[in-house]
Structure 1
């Protein structure tokens, strides 16, 4: 599984997608048991234009998140492996499409984790821009408020996540490209690599002359650019890769 592509690597960028969190009990979106596979109508709830235009769509969005296991999820072996890699002294940056905050919960330094698609741990007002902890708004949803509004200006509230049709924060996108262009190794883990512009970070790394490794259950559009494509379970593959990069032997997989 692990080849010479780990040799001499001191700077690593790890692009993580929903597949990294499935072992924590959080379903992915496009897999056999994915959120959108089970209920295709929810795709509309994750589209900015529909979310802003339709109170019914917003109600579906809040209800889908009210029931999300992500609020109670704990980091798994993959999250912990990346935190351990950072502690080993390897320069590692995590570029995550996930909004669950589990990389930070596992011990990765918040400043080393770039949340490309935002975070579900905060709510943002689409009017005044005020950001508040999600618990406050989710408590209102639990109490029956299907379309919570900002208590200050009355505008629509949304989780601080990037929906389809929204642009990535320019500063975040620019930093992600610089990280991808400077890392000696880019590892894309648990991502379908179908959502742009984030997926194209793989091409940024390869075009800069660096190695790309993909760890994913299913084929991706970027497989042919990779020096290695690994289909093993993420919770087994990533700890082994991180241990090899750190120059240590992988420990037992913990829960």
Structure 2
């Protein structure tokens, strides 16, 4: 059902939240745009300005690694200035209420953790851009460590432990999805009775399969996104309104 207006849609969403026992939110880039973080696919998005660097290209090419880190450092002021928005805070309220055991996210911006979710309860399908990791041994690095060496040597550094390349702790095109996160997302999707898909275009697989999985396992499905998605037809409620305005009334509840 597509909400005919914001007020009635928010009212129905509130009823569904009250009726639910286990609520699992699933978030995409749309929840963070009001925080100043641009999405990737929309007109003017990051991928319309820069071609994504494939994982295999990153591994074999020093030039690709250098360019990847130049882009990340250029975005640092944006990520550093971003604070949780109304959507993040509303979901953190659900989490504090005990109805939300964890959150599944496609986002890499760390804003759910900043809003009050424990890091272990944020299932990051596409990783996290606020730190770096060696693609060989998995050692973690602070971004400041990477930047200092990048500026000193003029090239992206390798791991101090095993000499393999270091990249942001994100999942790039062509890189395997994280097994533990996929397992947890599957479990959460199969055991909730209300699944909230928020700010996701639902076109990136396998992540887009989780709303379908929840629905097929008996959960009610709510989609909150400004633009239509391919899963609107199976949703119990669709709200095509600003995410902050839609979820704002639930902040602090």
- Measured against the shorter chain, the TM-score band is 0.7 to 0.9
Alignment RMSD (CA, Å) = 1.8
Secondary structure, aligned partner of 1:91: coil
Which residue does the alignment assign to 1:217? 226
Query: What is the distance in 1 between the residues matched to 2:148 and 2:84?
Result: 24
After TM superposition, the score normalised by the length of structure 1 is 0.87
Matched, 1:32 2:43: yes
* Mapping for residues 188-203 of structure 1, pairs under 5 Å: 188-203=197-212
Structure 2 gap segments, 5+ residues each: 1-8
Show CA shifts across 1:28-71 (max 9, x none): 000122101233x2x2x1x2112112222222211111011113
- Counterpart Cα distance in 2 of 1:220 and 1:140: 43
Supply the distance in 2 between the matched residues of 1:126 and 1:8 (Cα, whole angstroms).
44
Is the CA contact 1:5–1:227 (under 8 Å) kept in the aligned structure 2? Answer: no
**What is the aligned partner in structure 2 of residue 54 from structure 1?**
61
**Secondary structure in structure 2 of the residue aligned to 1:124:** strand
Matches within 5 A, 1:81-230: 81-143=90-152, 145-230=154-239
What is the aligned length?
Answer: 240
> Unaligned 5+ residue runs, structure 1?
249-255
- TM-score under structure 2 length normalisation: 0.88
Partner Cα separation in structure 2 for residue 142 and residue 185 of structure 1: 48
CA gap of 1:121–1:218, structure 2 versus 1, over 3 A, is same
**Residue among 26, 29, 32 paired with 1:15:** 26
SS in 2 for 1:67: helix
Assess if the C-alpha contact under 8 Å between 2:24 and 2:102 holds in 1: yes
**Displacement after TM superposition at 1:88 (Å):** 2.6
